[in-house]
Amino acid sequence: MEPSIYVFVYGTLRYKEKNHHLIKGPCVAEQAWIYGEMFDIGDVYPVALSSTTKKMYGELYRVSKDELKQLDSLEGYTEANSDDLFTRVSTTVFTDKGKFRAYTYLYNQKMDKDKQVITSGDWKLYQFLKANPIRVYYFAYGSCMDCERFRVANVESFFNRVIGAAVLVGYSMTYGFIAADGGRADIVECGGKTEGILYEIPFEAIDYLFHREGVDEGWYRPTFVRVQVGEQFYEEVLTFHVYEKQQELAPPAHYANEILRGAKGRVSENYYRELINRLHTLGKMDGIEI
């Protein structure tokens, strides 16, 4: 049996991007990252350089030798030519399932100082913010299922278009962001299923969500997932997950109550019971309103 070949992609080879059709192999991780720094050089694709401190985000795939040759051709990479635009390197890829060694393509030319650094390290997010779409699909699986804080913040009108209860397959919900008073909800790409609420929101709501999720502080990271409502699938749906995942900790009662209040009667009954059972497992039931 041939050894597995893994490739980390961060630009036009990502899911739903224009060159993704070249990848036939299975996706190992949608939420993958490496140490690297990404740039917009004014073309329709990003480039990246290696880094010891910066992170860049993408997807990890298992590919065949023939697929790898196609990717080499797309990137203009030849093993014999050191002047190629891109070079193929082996690097460590970090995922919720563990570490992998994989190939990726880094820029092989001198970077002009005036080129735009993509500070988020995420090409999809960078394009999304530049596009400034009128409406956005947003998947809430934690306290944003509940409307109370929307009312307090006077942003309730942003979240009045509810598509329905949604299912995110391949991710499990944990309380993996640790605040001073306990855990906060996170999604981990390690199998399982997470249910939540799919909203259609105006782009103006993004500032509120980024602030609430502590994006600038490095708490939660915007990402895009595929969810299902009934028989319909929704692609490129905005959600948030934790930058630096930590060991799970029971949430405070006020936060757990927000999740249960937002979930009750909206997600499936089985999933609602799973939320309660998880709190039992974590030893957190004092002050919980079921």
Which residues have a catalytic role annotated? Answer: 213
Residue 129's SS3 state is: helix
Residue corresponding to tokens 């990402």 = 223
Separation between Cα atoms, residue 168 and residue 31, nearest integer Å: 14
Q: Where are the alpha helices (DSSP H) in 96-203?
A: 123-131, 148-152
Separation between Cα atoms, residue 224 and residue 216, nearest integer Å: 18
Residue corresponding to tokens 């930590």 = 246
User: Pick from 94, 16, 20, 24: which is nearest to 56 by CA?
Assistant: 94
Residue type, 121: G
Token pair in block for residue 27: 């996706």
Contacts of 136 (CB under 8 A, 6+ apart): 200, 201, 202, 203, 205, 206, 238
Q: Which residues pair with 34 in a beta bridge?
A: 56
User: Strand ranges (DSSP E) for 119-231?
Assistant: 135-140, 162-169, 172-179, 182-188, 193-202, 220-229
Token pair in block for residue 115: 């080129």
42 to 55, 74, 110, 114: CA distances (angstroms): 21, 18, 15, 11
Token pair in block for residue 275: 């939320």
The answer to whether the CB of 169 falls within 8 A of the CB of 179 is: no
Token pair in block for residue 239: 């959600």
Note the Cα 259 to chain centre separation in Å.
20
Residue 289's SS3 state is: coil
